[in-house]
Amino acid sequence: MRIFLALVVLLSTPYLVLAQNAKKVLFIGSDGTTGSELRDIPTPNIDLLTEDAIYSYDAINNGITISGPGWSNLFTGVLDKKHKVVGNSFEKNNLANHPDFLQIIKKHIPHYETAAFYTWLPIGIILNETDTRVARRYAHGGDAFVHQIAQDYLRNEPADATVVYYGDVDIAGHNFGFYKEVPEYYREVVQFDRYVGDLVDAINARPTRSKEDWLIVLSTDHGGHKTGHGGETLGERNIFLIVAGDPVRHSELRRTNHRKLKMDDQLPLKRLKRYGFDTMPTQVDVVPTILDFLEIPADSYDLDGASLLGR
Ligand SMILES: [Zn+2]
């Protein structure tokens, strides 16, 4: 009898596996990468991703344009009023009550393996319960270092839900200016695009790739103004958000209101609507989108955004 049962299980397993592809999520972040500048700098690998993506280069950081709050918005799905990260010190934060999406995924799908690769160490304060963690300070080639390991991980490991963070674009912005006309900034954006291409190649080289559905999300914490950020100019608020992958149909979300606004002009939250940015995606849409893809109910997390799938 026991042998018979074992046989039944053995015979039926392949059909169960075929029934639904395994769902995998990769979030790729590039610090300080303004939406308008990314749109205009040639980035062939990212362009390829947008062929099957819901995406916008008119997306907005509708919170504080500093890394701590920006990444907290992206990873928790709530704004600073809730996560209470208002700067890079993370003092008196409320992240314990607003878990990052890797923790949420782990809670609902315990066998999922989560991982974070990053070069800005405070990312580890937000993503603080990953199964795998590779952190190295961005100075001295940090991005290239974690990139190598992230590539191997995505190629060879279960990699169910993964975050890869790059910091070099932001460093170039601070040193030389956050503008496509600045060669150092331009060069780092091009390098980021190569990194993206490598990660996609790693995924496509997985032996199990044909049995997997991938959602690949790309975004940034803030843009820039001159050699800084933290204020409310359009340049600082303007981010990009790309949700690409096997189940996604091409859709570019563009600002339809053509009221002129220069990158250096002030864009306080109360003026978002006036300039047509109120309907553009924001950072807090990322978590609801990922949970939607994984069919995890979002109701209990009091999220501030909405899923972009289907938009
Ligand atoms: Zn910065």
Q: Kindly report the CA angle at 63 between 124 and 121, in degrees rounded to 5?
A: 15
- Judged against a pLDDT cut of 70, whether residue 208 lies above it is answered with yes
Asked if 227 contacts 249 with a C-beta cutoff of 8 angstroms, the reply is no
Q: Tell me the sheet residues that pair with 241.
A: 56, 219
CA 135 to ligand 1 center in whole angstroms: 18
Distance 223 CA to ligand 1 centre (A): 9
**Region 153-158 average pLDDT:** 98
The predicted structure's pLDDT at residue 310: 80
Over residues 73-86, the mean pLDDT reads 98
Q: Is the pLDDT of residue 215 over 90?
A: yes
Confidence class of residue 311 from pLDDT cuts 50, 70 and 90? confident
Tell me the C-alpha distance between 129 and 65, whole Å.
Answer: 25
Q: Which two tokens stand for residue 307?
A: 């899923």
Distance 37 CA to ligand 1 centre (A): 15
296: CA distance to ligand 1 center in Å?
A: 33
- Residue 271: name the closest of 261, 263, 286 by CA: 261
Please give the distance, rounded to the nearest whole angstrom, from the Cα atom of residue 263 to the centre of ligand 1: 17
The pair of structure tokens assigned to 305 is 């955004």
pLDDT at 8 over 90: no
Residue 5 confidence (pLDDT) above 90: no
CATH topology (fold) of 22-301: Alkaline Phosphatase, subunit A (3.40.720)
**Residue 211 pLDDT exceeds 80:** yes
CA of 204 to the centre of ligand 1 (A): 32
Confidence bin at 247 (pLDDT 50/70/90): confident
pLDDT the model gives residue 1: 46
| Residue 21 confidence (pLDDT) | 95
140 Cβ contact list (under 8 Å, min separation 6): none
Is it the case that residue 141 has pLDDT exceeding 80?
A: yes
The span from the CA of 35 to the CA of 241, in Å, is 8
Residues with CB under 5 A from ligand 1 (ion): 32, 170
> CA distances (Å), 23 to each of 69, 198, 285, in order?
28, 20, 19
Would you say residue 13 has pLDDT above 90? no
Weakest-pLDDT range from 19-28, 154-163, 212-221? 19-28
- Please check the confidence at residue 7 and state whether its pLDDT lies above 90: no
Q: Check whether 251 has a pLDDT greater than 50.
A: yes
Name the more confident of 258 and 287. 287
pLDDT at 182 over 60: yes
Mean pLDDT (the chain, rounded): 94
User: Residues 216, 197: contact at Cβ < 8 Å?
Assistant: no
What is the Cα gyration radius of the chain?
20
Instruction: Provide the pLDDT for residue 139.
Output: 81
Q: How far is the CA of 233 from the centre of ligand 1 (A)?
A: 15
- For residue 229, is pLDDT > 90? yes
CA 239, distance to chain mean position in Å, is 11
Percent of the chain with pLDDT over 70: 94
Region 261-273 average pLDDT: 96
Q: What is the pLDDT of residue 272?
A: 96
**Three-state helix/strand/coil letters over the chain:** CHHHHHHHHHHHHHHHHHHCCEEEEEEEEECCCCHHHHHHCCCHHHHHHHCCEEEEEEEECCCCCCHHHHHHHHHHCCCHHHHCCCCCCCCCCCHHHCCCHHHHHHHHCCCCCEEEEECCCCHHHHCCCCCEEEECCCCCCHHHHHHHHHHHHHHHCCCCEEEEEECHHHHHHHHHCCCCCCHHHHHHHHHHHHHHHHHHHHHHCCCCHHHEEEEEEEECCCCCECCECCCCEHHHHEEEEEEEECCCCCEECCCCCCCCCCCCCECCHHHCCCCCCCCCCEHHHHHHHHHHHCCCCCHHHCCCCCCCCCC
Which of residues 311 and 117 earns the better pLDDT score? Answer: 117
Above 80 in pLDDT, residue 262?
yes
Least trusted range by pLDDT, from 126-135, 137-146, 290-299: 137-146
